Structure 1
């Protein structure tokens, strides 16, 4: 087999180090053919995520060139593309790193079964998570529905040390033909927003590692408290890089452990947040319906409103609630949204506006450059009350009260709300440059009146909750 090439199918594992599949492949000594496939499952992701994925692919292609490989780009159904590459290269196997969302699982299961039936080695590897979703089991052998016991069990499991990046790898004598990345127009749906959001991205493995170092050198010490304040630089901002596999989760985990052992007070809280990421994948694996249906079936009868003009005001960052609108505008300007702000924006939509969480989930999937299928589903259902380990529905975040507590100096709101400042900054104005022209927004117009009075919205939500219980 040492003379037979091996195809490496890359997806959301676009890095060289802490890369189990790549390390194992290089160790075989075989000629390696890295490939990225723009298949229907990848085509279907949201505009911002697809654009950002294109940037990740471009950076990874350059990284592969540094160790003597090329990234072959091809478009089409994954199985058909792989069959074509197997025939063209004479490769005897296809390896890939596992993904866990329902669409990827269905695709990969079909690909593996078909290739094996044709006598082709088809092998999948871990690498996206610290532990495979089925490895963390309850005492009864089932899966966990509540985070705290999951976290206790997960913390007791060993984590393998990350692999080093290979210095050199062997490619085939003749490389297969591939597409030009620019021709795919991965950012086509972003329109003018791409130029705005691009300034806030940290693309590629080197940038991701630099972001991690910066966090460990500063914010990790106070992470447990500062992470809730969106106006401060208190988080790692690694969600973007973990989404595309530009940095390995084991590398991040071990870095957090070292920071904790060196006395960083906030490191344990940071590790716990990595545990939440694992928990969301654990749940998505065991209950894949969480991505599109109420995790608790008894919520199917709840009187959610579907998409409405109120929801459109929310989408446009024009609800008249400054904390909510700042959160939405942060997403359009930076491609991401602070976690505290996500909870406030989601609570306002699902509770004050009584709108189905799927409306928000789908919009976040369209607009976030750090979109993650498990975290997005878990987050929305947690806030809405319909999900596992969820906040009770009667726990309704008051945007004004949250602003007083977590943005007392108004720094976050001023950063993104041009209408509330006599001299708006560049990021507040950038929202109007990024927003679709069809919205007809103008920073010189008065800030809008609230869609609904907060007390009234809360009362309506509580009444609906009480009626559901009855």
Structure 2
């Protein structure tokens, strides 16, 4: 039998259960060398993502240690690092979970080809999605460009059972050297806000499974109503854990299906949200331009602002004078996440009321979100801007004032995140001022600003631009 070690290259799959690549390595009866590589793609992550990654790697390393294994950390180009580890360990194979954004696919394709040429078994596995993008087709054999038909096509598909955690992860005779996680200084980009942001993170596989269990037990029955109320804790909050693969979508799917079969009808909407994530990756695979360029080419000539104007800076800092927008932007800055209703409102306000290119919003989210996901972030921004799939620009100029009246009637959300208008601001609202750069010159004692662009003015400007461009 082949007893050479198998390197399992972890990326956005920091878990032990339902991990096909890890399971295959363990089932082979060979020593397993778990590895995480800090390459250019890690270096390019936003500040909040880097902090959250540091926390994730720390917890995952401890989970492996509980299995008498280790997480080897190395820094450098992925192929160079893997070749070094192969020489050091005598490994005969490298396994990993597939990713679907263009930079990751390009890197992985080159790595696989080079390793195979070296005589090394190089194999990628599913695990990041419910369905591989190329397995979901329309009746005519093409890919889906609209979400609802895709949902109808896959909702009855078989989703295989989740794999259990390996009973044992065989160790190599000698472990290769590992970098010290602290030496990577991943949290450095967060500056003084790192410790505050860390308190809002729910890290690791065990925590993710607990979060899912609590959602199914206590929240999913009222999901349809409460998911739209930012002042209510009515969502699963699992996007943070799905981003880092601390829980698999398959585990989430089966939990949602079980709840649906148990009579909790709102669970179907939770399943739809999982497929919405699938749809983002479906489009990223088939039309990779969605990650970087207008999905609809006729938007290339649209006269968006592309500069960091004072209006855009006010949007970034939660100082637009529009309460829903400002509360949501501050929530993201402090917690690294934002309520989904808020995401739609702030994206609509930037791209329509401020007539600013969605790429500016996409980049700011990428720097601030702990649950940043390349496909979901890009599709969400293009959906809101009108340049992506499933969008009707005319009808999606959200009014953030009436939206606040509808979804935050008692202003619980606003009070949680805006300090300036209240004599006794909440701790969460005050924490924003402890995180932001001092150079912004903001304090909770400042007067709340007037609207930089009123809702009526912004809507009229957007609709005039659409009309003049023939939309």
TM-score bracket relative to the smaller structure: over 0.9
Contact kept in structure 2, 1:352 and 1:458, CA below 8 Å? yes
Q: Alpha-carbon deviations, 1:211-244, whole Å to 9, x = none?
A: 1111111110000111000000110000000000
Work out the CA distance in 2 between the residues paired with 1:256 and 1:394: 31
Whether 1:319 and 2:320 are equivalent positions in the alignment is yes
Work out the CA distance in 1 between the residues paired with 2:404 and 2:386: 22
- What residue number does 1:330 align with? 331
Work out the CA distance in 2 between the residues paired with 1:227 and 1:420: 27
Work out the CA distance in 2 between the residues paired with 1:56 and 1:2: 32
Work out the CA distance in 2 between the residues paired with 1:167 and 1:206: 16
- What residue number does 2:351 align with? 350
Q: Alpha-carbon deviations, 1:73-113, whole Å to 9, x = none?
A: 00000000000000110000100000111110110000001
Work out the CA distance in 2 between the residues paired with 1:465 and 1:298: 12
* SS of residue paired to 1:187: helix
Deviation, structure 1 residue 392 = 2.4
Contact kept in structure 2, 1:193 and 1:332, CA below 8 Å? no
Work out the CA distance in 2 between the residues paired with 1:14 and 1:391: 38
TM-score between the two structures when normalised by the length of structure 2:
0.99
- What residue number does 2:426 align with? 425
Deviation, structure 1 residue 291 = 0.8
Whether 1:367 and 2:368 are equivalent positions in the alignment is yes
Aligned residues: 470
- What residue number does 1:144 align with? 144
Structure 2 alignment gaps of length 5 or more? none
- What residue number does 1:238 align with? 238
Work out the CA distance in 2 between the residues paired with 1:111 and 1:157: 32
RMSD: 0.9
* SS of residue paired to 1:268: helix
Whether 1:205 and 2:205 are equivalent positions in the alignment is yes
Work out the CA distance in 2 between the residues paired with 1:391 and 1:171: 55
Work out the CA distance in 2 between the residues paired with 1:289 and 1:146: 16
Q: Alpha-carbon deviations, 1:237-285, whole Å to 9, x = none?
A: 0000000000111111000001111111310110011110000000000
Q: Alpha-carbon deviations, 1:408-442, whole Å to 9, x = none?
A: 10000010000121110100000101111111111
Work out the CA distance in 2 between the residues paired with 1:393 and 1:183: 50
Work out the CA distance in 2 between the residues paired with 1:38 and 1:336: 24
Work out the CA distance in 2 between the residues paired with 1:2 and 1:429: 59
1:146-185 to structure 2, matched below 5 A, reads 146-185=146-185
Whether 1:467 and 2:468 are equivalent positions in the alignment is yes
Work out the CA distance in 2 between the residues paired with 1:112 and 1:156: 34
Contact kept in structure 2, 1:10 and 1:96, CA below 8 Å? yes
Of residues 321-330 and 151-160 in structure 1, the stretch that sits farther from structure 2 once superposed is: 151-160
Contact kept in structure 1, 2:294 and 2:388, CA below 8 Å? yes
Whether 1:340 and 2:338 are equivalent positions in the alignment is no
- What residue number does 1:40 align with? 40
Work out the CA distance in 1 between the residues paired with 2:323 and 2:402: 11
Whether 1:410 and 2:411 are equivalent positions in the alignment is yes
Deviation, structure 1 residue 393 = 3.9
Give 4+ residue runs of structure 1 displaced > 4 Å after superposition: none
- What residue number does 1:74 align with? 74
- What residue number does 1:98 align with? 98
- What residue number does 1:3 align with? 3
Of residues 391-400 and 23-32 in structure 1, the stretch that sits farther from structure 2 once superposed is: 391-400
Contact kept in structure 2, 1:383 and 1:391, CA below 8 Å? no
Question: Relative to 1, partners in 2 of residues 1:196 and 1:391: Cα closer, same or farther, differing over 3 Å?
Answer: farther
Of residues 156-165 and 311-320 in structure 1, the stretch that sits farther from structure 2 once superposed is: 156-165
TM-score between the two structures when normalised by the length of structure 1:
0.99
Contact kept in structure 1, 2:325 and 2:345, CA below 8 Å? yes
Q: Alpha-carbon deviations, 1:28-66, whole Å to 9, x = none?
A: 110000100000111111111111111111111110111
Deviation, structure 1 residue 394 = 4.3
Whether 1:23 and 2:26 are equivalent positions in the alignment is no
Contact kept in structure 1, 2:223 and 2:270, CA below 8 Å? yes
- What residue number does 1:443 align with? 444
- What residue number does 1:187 align with? 187
1:379-418 to structure 2, matched below 5 A, reads 379-418=380-419
Work out the CA distance in 1 between the residues paired with 2:268 and 2:298: 36
Work out the CA distance in 1 between the residues paired with 2:42 and 2:184: 12
Contact kept in structure 2, 1:414 and 1:424, CA below 8 Å? yes
Structure 1 alignment gaps of length 5 or more? none
* SS of residue paired to 2:9: strand
Contact kept in structure 1, 2:68 and 2:169, CA below 8 Å? yes
- What residue number does 2:227 align with? 227
Work out the CA distance in 2 between the residues paired with 1:312 and 1:82: 42
Q: Alpha-carbon deviations, 1:312-353, whole Å to 9, x = none?
A: 100000000000000000001111000000000000000000
Work out the CA distance in 2 between the residues paired with 1:288 and 1:215: 33
Q: Alpha-carbon deviations, 1:106-128, whole Å to 9, x = none?
A: 10000001111111100000000
- What residue number does 2:459 align with? 458
Work out the CA distance in 2 between the residues paired with 1:333 and 1:40: 26
* SS of residue paired to 1:134: helix
Contact kept in structure 2, 1:394 and 1:465, CA below 8 Å? no
- What residue number does 1:258 align with? 258
